[in-house]
């Protein structure tokens, strides 16, 4: 066979072996549980056998030696009685055979010449008997003694005593201890076999139960990976796997909600992009082909400009959200006049308020309406960056520390949000509250309001509730960007709202021109 044929045969053999292993559960939970169970049993019984061989064996030997000594004394008493009564050897043999267990013990009655009479059937040749007698020290000790003697035939308990009244040595050879110890070992082996069988059955049943649950989770996770987040993993247990199943179900619910919000977001973005682009394309085409009179072209160009600004706002929000997700969204703190920024912003947005048929009111701005003033040389540089020494606030100014561009973005989002949900003819209230160390801004509308659940979720990306935000335009990311900007400034935005009663958004900034204002800003940002 060629080398290629050998490789193919080896590959097929490997595939078959892998298939058989999968069917047998090798490498799975069953095999691992079985291996753990058998290893535990093996170590346990190994330790048990070592201990039992030492402790149980010694205890059995001590007890057996005591029993053999007592039986030897009874035998000697019987022999002394026979000697006094003049029993014949046959009578003595018959009497001893009644008390000596067959196949377990032999009684030897030995005279000084070494001749002996054996009663019992311990299967030993005469040479072994004489060797055991010599090993036990027969004839050298006048006291009764019991010894454990080992030879090639096994282990024996040899009990001996010299009887002066008989002038004989009485020796007992017993194999009972060895048989008892073997019986204990056989029982241990039987227990090991039963334990192994039970372990295999329990491991198999438990592994099937666990793998069934894990397989359900695996199938559920595959469904989640395919976007079928409505799938639920059924597991009512309260153990760790049950908790994992609950976590996976909650994750699927969150992913499903996020996926739905993403779809709504794409639909809203597509609509928000298509509508102004369609308007821009239509108006420019009408102007170019002469459909729109020249005296009205400026009006349609302004509409086109507004639609372009709307597109730029949408693209800017998308870019900001992308930077936030990438961790590249930064703020550049500087000292600036918050009151002046609010005045300028509201002035620029007057046409937007008129378009929505909504009024605005300002409260708390020092100096009332914005007034023009000459800037000293270098003042603009001091307002635009952190370089240079802090300057004292002039009358009508509210100096704070923050990124003026990002905070203006916050105000634009809050004002546009207020206008979007305000009925025609209502008022948007903008209030500036100046404290000793902080300046707070609130934007309140007279619109449709929100429920407590909606107020809690408005900071989520893409969130648009059907009641409070659906059908009003927007992509659902404006307020999420607002919260991220204020979090970066160490400021917490608060919202108070009731259905039908309007909504109020409020945030605070650290005042500038105060001792330690930079440290306060850094501490707030770290928080």
Longest CA span, the chain = 161
Going by the DSSP 8-state scheme, the letter that residue 376 receives in this structure is P
- Cβ 85 vs Cβ 149: under 8 Å: no
Q: At 94, is the secondary structure helix, strand, or coil? A: helix
**Predicted local confidence at residue 429, as pLDDT:** 94
CATH class in words for 330-367+396-526: alpha beta
Backbone angles phi, psi at 470, to 5 degrees: -70, 145
What predicted TM-score, i.e. pTM, was given to this entire model? 0.48
Q: Please choose, from the candidates 252, 245, 243, the residue with its C-alpha nearest in 3D space to the C-alpha of residue 223.
A: 252
160, containing H or E segment: strand 154-163
- Cβ 223 vs Cβ 231: under 8 Å: yes
Map out the domains of the chain as residue ranges: 240-311, 330-367+396-526
**Predicted local confidence at residue 386, as pLDDT:** 38
**Predicted local confidence at residue 81, as pLDDT:** 87
- Cβ 486 vs Cβ 507: under 8 Å: yes
Tell me the two tokens of residue 244.
Answer: 């994992």
CATH number of 240-311: 1.10.287
Task: Return per-residue pLDDT of the chain as tens, 527 residues.
Answer: 566 666 677 777 767 765 655 565 555 666 777 778 778 877 887 787 777 767 766 777 777 777 777 877 888 888 888 888 888 878 887 887 777 765 567 777 777 666 777 777 666 666 766 666 665 555 555 677 777 777 666 677 777 777 877 777 788 777 766 667 777 778 877 887 888 788 778 877 887 788 888 888 888 888 888 888 888 888 888 888 888 888 888 888 888 887 877 777 777 677 667 777 888 888 888 888 878 787 778 888 888 887 887 788 778 877 777 777 777 777 888 999 999 999 999 988 888 888 888 999 998 877 654 333 333 333 333 333 433 445 555 556 889 999 999 899 899 989 988 988 888 889 999 999 998 889 999 999 998 888 888 888 888 766 665 444 444 445 667 888 888 889 888 899 999 988 888 899 999 999 987 544 455 555 544 44
């Amino acid at each position: 066979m060629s080398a290629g044929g050998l490789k193919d045969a080896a590959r097929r053999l490997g595939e078959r072996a892998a298939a058989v292993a999968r069917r047998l559960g090798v490498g799975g939970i069953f095999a691992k549980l079985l291996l753990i169970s058998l290893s535990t049993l093996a170590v346990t019984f190994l330790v048990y056998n070592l201990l039992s061989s030492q402790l149980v064996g010694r205890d059995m030997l001590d007890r057996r030696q005591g029993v053999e000594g007592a039986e030897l004394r009874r035998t000697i008493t019987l022999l002394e009685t026979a000697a006094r009564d003049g029993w014949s050897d046959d009578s003595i043999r018959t009497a001893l055979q009644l008390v000596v267990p067959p196949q377990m013990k032999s009684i030897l009655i030995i005279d000084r010449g070494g001749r002996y009479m054996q009663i019992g059937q311990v299967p030993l040749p005469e040479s072994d008997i004489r060797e055991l007698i010599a090993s036990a020290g027969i004839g050298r000790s006048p006291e009764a003694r019991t010894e454990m003697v080992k030879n090639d035939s096994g282990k024996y308990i040899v009990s001996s005593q010299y009887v002066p009244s008989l002038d004989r040595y009485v020796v007992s050879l017993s194999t009972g201890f060895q048989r008892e110890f073997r019986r204990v070992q056989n029982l241990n082996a039987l227990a090991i076999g039963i334990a192994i069988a039970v372990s295999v059955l329990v491991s198999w049943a438990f592994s099937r139960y666990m793998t069934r649950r894990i397989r359900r989770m695996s199938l559920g996770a595959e469904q989640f990976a395919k976007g079928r987040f409505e799938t639920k993993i059924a597991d009512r247990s309260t153990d760790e796997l049950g908790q994992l199943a609950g976590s996976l179900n909650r994750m699927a619910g969150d992913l499903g909600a996020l996926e739905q919000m993403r779809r709504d977001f794409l639909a809203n973005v597509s609509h928000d992009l298509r509508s102004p682009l369609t308007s821009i394309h239509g108006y420019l085409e009408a102007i170019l082909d002469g459909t729109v009179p020249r005296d009205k072209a400026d009006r349609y160009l302004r509409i086109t400009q507004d639609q372009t600004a709307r597109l730029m706002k949408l693209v800017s929000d998308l870019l900001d959200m992308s930077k936030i997700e990438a961790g590249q969204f930064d703020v550049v703190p500087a000292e600036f006049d918050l009151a002046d920024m609010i005045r300028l912003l509201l002035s620029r947005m007057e046409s937007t308020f008129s378009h929505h048929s909504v009024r605005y009111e300002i409260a708390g701005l020092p100096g009332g309406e914005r007034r023009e003033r000459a800037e000293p040389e270098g003042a603009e540089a001091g307002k635009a960056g952190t370089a240079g020494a802090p300057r004292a606030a002039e009358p009508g100014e509210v100096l704070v520390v923050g990124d003026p561009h990002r905070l203006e973005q916050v105000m634009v989002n809050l004002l546009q949000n207020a206008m979007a949900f305000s009925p025609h003819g209502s008022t948007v209230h903008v209030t500036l509250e100046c404290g000793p160390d902080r300046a707070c801004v609130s934007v309140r509308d007279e619109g449709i309001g929100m429920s407590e659940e909606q107020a809690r979720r408005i900071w989520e990306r893409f969130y648009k509730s059907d009641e409070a935000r659906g059908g009003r335009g927007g992509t659902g990311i404006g307020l999420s960007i607002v919260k991220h900007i204020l979090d970066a400034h160490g400021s917490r935005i608060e919202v108070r709202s009731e259905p039908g009663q309007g909504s109020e958004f409020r945030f605070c900034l650290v005042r500038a021109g105060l001792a330690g204002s930079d440290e306060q800003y850094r501490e707030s940002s770290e928080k």
